[in-house]
Amino acid sequence: MEETILVVDDDAALLEVMSIMMLSEGYRVLTAENGAEALKISEQENLNLVVLDIMLPQMSGFDVLKKLREQTDVPVVMLTAKSQSVDKVVGLELGADDYITKPFDTKELLARIKAILRRFGRQDGGPVHGDNVMRLGPVELDPEAYTVTRDGDPLELTPTEFKILAMLMRRPGQAFSRSQISEAVSTGSHYLASRYIDVHISRLRGKVETDHRHPQLIQTVPSIGYRASKSAAEAVG
């Protein structure tokens, strides 16, 4: 089944170039030149990935991303004409999974897209609960069905958050450095800087912890990185 990508950019020429590139690779491509149009499409279509420009008229890409994250956990690649790290941090905090700075090589963008779809892509009507469900306190993660619940209630995680959580839950008690986590969740030619791992962990804690200010499930290992609580895993083991 062909994968559907929504490309959002107010530069009509660039939009056409990106669309042609993606169509040539066999993707189904939808386009929008503003945020309102993008959000309308996201409500009507089952999207596999969104390529979203930050600098949009009327509604910024950040605002669009906020709205998207209220509706879906579809992977989002942000496009920015700025190289400042603040834009990247803001995008990651809002739930973006990757970013690329303009001007960019279309081959690099395509590599990022392929990597994200390969790593995080899901099939429509995926399998029911599998036999490999992992548990951490009240949190359950099913890597086959690509679902996470807390006390039975579904959690909406971004693909990057899901991958980080799965990595930690597979080895409760084991400390992972930020560079190890970065390597595991990076896509294509893009290496997610270690300092941005803290941003994803903070967002993840806000979803899985009872009190994210005093985390019990995802613990900080000083001077190293993070680990899933072994005692919380054993309590439900």
For residue range 15-66, list pLDDT tens digits in order: 999 998 899 888 999 999 999 999 999 999 889 999 999 989 889 999 999 9
Please check whether residues 146 and 86 belong to one and the same domain. Answer: no
Q: Which residues contact 69 (CB under 8 A, 6 or more apart)?
A: 94, 95, 156, 158
Q: How confident is the model at residue 204 (pLDDT cuts 50, 70, 90)?
A: very high
Report how many domains make up the chain.
2
pLDDT > 80? residue 6: yes
- In this prediction, residue 30 carries a pLDDT of 94
Please check whether residues 115 and 42 belong to one and the same domain. Answer: yes
Residue 49 lies in a domain: yes
Domain that holds residue 172: 134-235
Q: How far apart are CA 67 and CA 152, in angstroms?
A: 25
154 alpha-carbon distance from chain centroid: 17
Taking alpha carbons only, the member of 43, 44, 39 closest to residue 52 is: 39
Residue 127 lies in a domain: no
Please check whether residues 59 and 104 belong to one and the same domain. Answer: yes
- In this prediction, residue 127 carries a pLDDT of 35
pTM exceeding the 0.75 threshold for the entire prediction: no
In terms of pLDDT, which residue wins out, 124 or 155?
155
- 169-202 pLDDT, tens digit each: 988 999 999 888 887 776 544 445 667 888 899 9
Q: Are strands 134-136 and 139-142 parallel, antiparallel or unpaired?
A: antiparallel
Angle at the Cα of 232 (from 93 to 161), degrees rounded to 5? Answer: 20
- In this prediction, residue 122 carries a pLDDT of 47
Please check whether residues 8 and 100 belong to one and the same domain. Answer: yes
Residue 101 lies in a domain: yes
